């Protein structure tokens, strides 16, 4: 995923990103962004619906949204639980 984002950045901008702070916690990155302290590149589904952030898809030079594969790993027997089964079905529909 890092290579996808790095390639996208090089296609869009002439200068490398100016990075002073990095975090691997979505909540902290979101709080920084809400306070005007930068930007974040994250899956849209991870941003709360009531967020004050502006969401913009990252796109290739010809305007196609950049997508990458996502995996859902689970034990088959956990789908015996109705809640888990519903969640797996929901994710498969996406």
Q: Which residues contact 48 (CB under 8 A, 6 or more apart)?
A: 30
pLDDT in tens, 40-56: 888 888 888 888 888 89
Distance CA 81, CA 56 (A): 36
pLDDT at 3 over 80: yes
In angstroms, what CA-CA distances link 14 with 9, 37, 41, 66, 76?
A: 8, 21, 18, 19, 47
pLDDT, one tens digit per residue, over 56-93 is 988 988 888 888 777 889 999 999 999 999 999 998 88
pTM above 0.85, yes or no: no
Supply 1's token pair. 């995923």
CA torsion, points 58, 20, 50, 24, in degrees to nearest 10?
A: 80
- The pLDDT tens digits for 13-39 are 889 988 888 888 988 999 999 999 988
57, 65 contact by CB (below 8 A): yes
């Amino acid at each position: 995923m890092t290579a996808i984002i790095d390639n996208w950045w090089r296609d869009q901008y002439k200068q490398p990103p100016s990075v002073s702070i990095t975090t691997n916690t979505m909540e902290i990155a979101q709080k920084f962004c809400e306070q005007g302290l930068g930007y974040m590149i994250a899956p849209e589904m991870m941003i709360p619906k009531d967020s004050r952030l502006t969401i913009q898809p990252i796109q290739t030079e010809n305007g196609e949204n950049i997508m990458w594969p996502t995996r859902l790993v689970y034990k088959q027997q956990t789908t015996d639980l109705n809640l888990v089964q519903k969640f797996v079905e929901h994710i498969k529909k996406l």
